[in-house]
Structure 1
Amino acid sequence: MKKIVLYFAIVILVLFVVAYFIFNEKLPTGGNPEKADLMAQKMQVALNKSAWDSTSVISWTHKGVHHIVWDKKNEMVQVKWDKNDVFLNLKEWNKGKAFSEGKEITDAQLDVLRGKAWAIFCNDSFWLIAPYKVFDEGVTRKIVKTDNNEEALLVSYASGGVTPGDSYLWFLDKSGVPKSYKLWVKILPIGGIEATWDNWTKTKTGANIATSHKLGPMTITVENLKTGMNLQEAEVKTDLFDIIK
């Protein structure tokens, strides 16, 4: 049995090495930041960033497993997964609370669950609104010439989230709407993997959100998407975050 396990481990390692050398791409350097800013601004206009900025509350389900309510205006987040229900106060971390199977967690596991909820929120919200984050603090923008002699927008994050240093190469249509991007991120061992941005949906507040992404064999979905200028408009209980205020 040990020999069989070792054999499969070696096979998997060999396949990974082969895949790495075939598919791994080096991060392009890019240039012309002034033109890149114009390209990024065109994307913002195409997606109606002003509508996103004025959106106070958004809720959604990520890949059918994470359920998130984000009160942008008051900087509070609810993240539900498995048997866990965690409330984060982004202004006052210690006010965050966690529940598992309906029981409040008050021991050392509380920080574990809050940390996990924060990581889920950072990842899932990025898949939701990454195009709106290209002018965040610490972000650089450059133009990259593709093999087809087209221009793509390279966006690199020096800070923010849980994996600062990640970079994304955006491919836009003629109107400025994202079609896909390539990723150079710490959680993926192979650089340059491409993910699509599909099924664009105009929300109640006017912001445009892509509700489907294809990343290799995996499909990342956004479901139960709701927005509003307050909790009630987003069909969320108005007292949802009272416990962490």
Structure 2
Amino acid sequence: MGRLGKILLKSLLGLLLLGVIAFGVLYLVYNEPLPQGNTGPAADALAKKMLKAVNYEQYKATRFLEWTFAGGAHRYKWDKENGKVKVSWSNHQVNLNLNDPGSSTVLQDNVFITGEGKVALTQKALDYFNNDSFWLVAPFKVFDEGTERSLVQLEDGSKGLLVSYTTGGTTPGDSYLWKLDSSGFPKSYQMWVKIIPIGGLEATWDDWKVMPNGLFLPASHKIGPITLYIGNVEAYK
């Protein structure tokens, strides 16, 4: 290996070491264990209070939801009534059947894809949808099948709503601790999820849009210095 190669290797190793140290510091500062709460009617009552605050009745009456995510790279049109969603990204379009993913249709550059390519792209579309739709409608999913709700005592003396997803989605086992205002409106949640190694990271839920039908949907979320934007949000029958 030449002199330049050795210098580059040392630089890369140094950057890797700095990255490991930085992650270690972040882990020590921010990582929190999953809190323990109490299940039962009081937890369910707080969950229902949150549903009322974000107008769950209008959510149930809404058939179509459209939005973009990941800076507009992922585009969705979701037919909630029929369990179908058009997922588009790059040069791909998947007409995803949520009830029977195998019957979905997949296009790449407007050409239908079959075989293993179809299976892989269908799964990618489903993973995108599971993640990106959660950032849009998570408050409405607190009574989904496989969820468990608990009341948690917060440091400020108020009660938080811990929702754990034991089944379903792409990463079952994830948990979210909702922090609500006095009316039950969501302000933020802390996350204990498989794809993030630091437990308890907090994401805001305080940038809301009111749809023409009165439904509340978020426009963005902040996780530390990172902002996740949800664009072109529409809700209609």
TM over 0.5: yes
Could you tell me which residue of structure 2 aligns to residue 146 of structure 1?
Answer: 154
Instruction: State the one-letter code of the partner of 1:26.
Output: P
Check if 1:39 corresponds to 2:46. yes
Could you tell me which residue of structure 1 aligns to residue 117 of structure 2?
Answer: 109
- Measured in 2, the distance between the counterparts of 1:38 and 1:94 equals 38
Q: Give the counterpart of 1:190 among 185, 198, 206.
A: 198
- The structural deviation recorded for 1:216 is 1.7
Instruction: State the one-letter code of the partner of 1:112.
Output: A
Native 8 Å contact 1:140 1:156 kept in 2? yes
- Counterparts of 1:12-27 in structure 2, within 5 Å, are 12-27=19-34
- Measured in 2, the distance between the counterparts of 1:11 and 1:43 equals 42
Structure 1 runs of 4+ off > 4 angstroms? none
Q: Give the counterpart of 1:168 among 167, 176, 200.
A: 176
Instruction: State the one-letter code of the partner of 1:220.
Output: L
- The structural deviation recorded for 1:32 is 4.7
Instruction: State the one-letter code of the partner of 2:179.
Output: F
TM-score under structure 1 length normalisation: 0.90
Native 8 Å contact 1:30 1:143 kept in 2? yes
- Measured in 2, the distance between the counterparts of 1:51 and 1:205 equals 7
Instruction: State the one-letter code of the partner of 2:25.
Output: V
- Measured in 2, the distance between the counterparts of 1:92 and 1:4 equals 50
- The structural deviation recorded for 1:173 is 0.8
- Measured in 2, the distance between the counterparts of 1:227 and 1:150 equals 32
Native 8 Å contact 1:213 1:221 kept in 2? yes
Q: Unaligned 5+ residue runs, structure 2?
A: 1-7
Please state whether the residue corresponding to 1:88 is helix, strand or coil.
strand
Native 8 Å contact 1:180 1:194 kept in 2? yes
Check if 1:70 corresponds to 2:71. no
- Measured in 1, the distance between the counterparts of 2:25 and 2:119 equals 40
- Change in 2 beyond 3 A, CA 1:71/1:32: closer
Could you tell me which residue of structure 2 aligns to residue 131 of structure 1?
Answer: 139
Please state whether the residue corresponding to 2:169 is helix, strand or coil.
coil
Please state whether the residue corresponding to 2:230 is helix, strand or coil.
strand
Q: Unaligned 5+ residue runs, structure 1?
A: 230-245
Please state whether the residue corresponding to 1:119 is helix, strand or coil.
helix
Please state whether the residue corresponding to 1:108 is helix, strand or coil.
helix
Number of corresponding residues: 229
Native 8 Å contact 1:52 1:205 kept in 2? no
Instruction: State the one-letter code of the partner of 1:47.
Output: V
- Measured in 2, the distance between the counterparts of 1:154 and 1:91 equals 28
Check if 1:59 corresponds to 2:78. no
Instruction: State the one-letter code of the partner of 1:210.
Output: P
Could you tell me which residue of structure 2 aligns to residue 29 of structure 1?
Answer: 36
- Measured in 2, the distance between the counterparts of 1:160 and 1:92 equals 14
Percent of aligned pairs with the same amino acid: 44
Instruction: State the one-letter code of the partner of 2:146.
Output: G
- Measured in 1, the distance between the counterparts of 2:97 and 2:158 equals 43
- Change in 2 beyond 3 A, CA 1:116/1:32: closer
Check if 1:11 corresponds to 2:18. yes
TM-score under structure 2 length normalisation: 0.93
